[in-house]
């Protein structure tokens, strides 16, 4: 199997890497968040989804992903110049597929919306993901009792609108109509484990939210599962809507047997390097599934021709 070669989007200007891009069997343009961009150094304790992808033939990806990227930012050319240049330059590459890692930061951001504004007024349920204790539903429905259905519906509308815009950008260049792929995320355990152990400079993310909303610790793992289950259902719904999202393909991550992190673990635990990022063990389970989906679709569509 051939390891996916990765080139940063900023390294493709002035004719750099043109020969290498052209000689590979598969050419991908990648865009997204930290699941595509962190840990690119080979000896780092964590990689990213792209670094662990393998294909039956040579493959290369020009990677425009950045940590913290939201889907709204990804779909805004004013912020993403390298992606714009790679996708729409007059003599740009005819990319065989668009690889995406998107929506995770958007979901984290909305999960961290608190129940009350600075003036003490309560934020409507349609504008937040979690419910306060006096709004919790029947315990019989499990972790869904803590989730605002109206808030998740608002998130879903936002997600669909920006994903549609991103595909419209694809269809405005030489790679119009080519397949686009995105993935779900692993189920995180809300826990005090940010990027830098012992510091809240970068994370934790969900942990802060469940603490703020007073959700019982015994339900933390179930809440993480419920949030990602809903995200995966949303992704599958988009991929199934070929009219609104043409040639879009989604990896449902719920079937990947990732080992969850332990409650309260402050650092590397299970298949997780921190609260929301996989370690290399987790990536070695996750990335092959994503690569297999990509190659399966490309072969079925006769790409490259």
Tell me how crowded residue 240 is: count the other CB atoms within 10 A of its CB.
Answer: 11
What integer pLDDT is reported at residue 12 of this predicted model?
Answer: 59
pLDDT, residue 79, reads 74
Instruction: Take residue 50 and report the two structure tokens written for it.
Output: 């792209």
* 297 SS3 class: helix
pLDDT of residue 42: 47
DSSP string, 157-202: HHHHHHHHHHHHHHTTSTTTT--EEEE--------S--SSTT--TT
Domain ranges of the chain: 2-106+157-191+228-300
Q: What is the pLDDT along the chain (305 residues), one digit of tens a residue?
A: 999 999 988 765 545 566 678 889 999 999 999 999 986 544 445 689 999 999 999 999 999 999 899 999 998 866 778 888 888 765 567 899 999 999 999 999 999 999 999 999 999 999 999 999 999 999 999 999 999 999 999 999 999 999 999 999 999 888 999 999 999 999 999 999 988 776 677 779 999 999 999 999 999 999 999 999 999 999 999 999 999 999 999 999 999 999 999 999 999 999 999 999 999 999 999 999 999 999 999 999 999 97
Residue 83's nearest CA partner among 3, 17, 12 is 12
Strands 54-55, 2-3: pairing kind: antiparallel
Say if domain 2-106+157-191+228-300 classifies as CATH 3.40.50.1110: yes
How many Cβ atoms sit within 10 Å of the Cβ of residue 11? 13
What pTM value is reported for the model? 0.94
Supply φ then ψ for residue 186, to 5 degrees: -70, 165
Q: What is the pLDDT of residue 14?
A: 44
Q: How many C-beta neighbours within 10 Å does residue 305 have?
A: 6
Q: Closest Cα to residue 180, out of 101, 77, 88?
A: 101
d(CA 240, CA 59): 27
pLDDT for the residue numbered 39: 67
Bridging pattern class, strands 59-63 and 26-32 = parallel
DSSP-assigned letter for residue 204: -
Cβ within 8 Å of residue 6, ≥6 positions away = 30, 40, 50, 51, 60, 61, 63
Q: Is 77 helix (H, G, I), strand (E, B) or coil?
A: coil
């Amino acid at each position: 199997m051939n390891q996916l070669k990765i080139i940063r989007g900023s390294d493709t200007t002035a004719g750099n890497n043109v020969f290498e891009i052209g000689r590979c069997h598969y050419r991908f343009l990648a865009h997204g968040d930290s699941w595509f961009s962190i840990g690119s150094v080979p000896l780092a304790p964590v990689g990213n989804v792209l670094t662990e992808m393998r294909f039956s033939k040579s493959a290369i990806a020009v990677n425009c992903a950045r940590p913290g990227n939201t889907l709204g930012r990804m779909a805004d050319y004013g912020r993403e110049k390298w992606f714009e240049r790679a996708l729409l330059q007059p003599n740009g590459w005819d990319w065989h597929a668009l690889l995406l890692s998107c929506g995770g930061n958007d979901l984290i951001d909305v999960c961290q919306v608190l129940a009350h504004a600075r003036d003490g007024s309560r934020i409507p349920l349609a504008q937040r993901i979690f419910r306060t204790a006096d709004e919790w539903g029947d315990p019989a429905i499990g972790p869904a009792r803590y989730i605002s259905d109206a808030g998740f519906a608002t998130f879903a509308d936002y997600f669909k609108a920006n994903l549609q815009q991103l595909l419209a950008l694809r269809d405005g260049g030489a790679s119009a109509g080519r397949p686009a792929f995105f993935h779900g995320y692993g189920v995180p355990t809300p826990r005090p484990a940010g990027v830098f152990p012992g510091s809240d400079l970068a994370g934790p993310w969900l942990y802060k939210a469940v603490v703020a909303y007073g959700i019982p610790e015994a339900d933390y793992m179930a809440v993480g599962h419920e949030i990602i289950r809903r995200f995966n259902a949303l992704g599958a719904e988009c991929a199934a809507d070929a009219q609104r999202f043409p040639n879009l393909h989604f990896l449902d991550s719920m079937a990947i047997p990732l080992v969850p992190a332990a409650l309260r673990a402050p650092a590397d635990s299970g298949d997780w390097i921190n609260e929301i990022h996989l370690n290399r063990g987790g990536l070695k389970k996750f990335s092959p599934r994503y690569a297999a989906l990509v190659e399966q679709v490309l072969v079925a569509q006769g790409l490259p021709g």
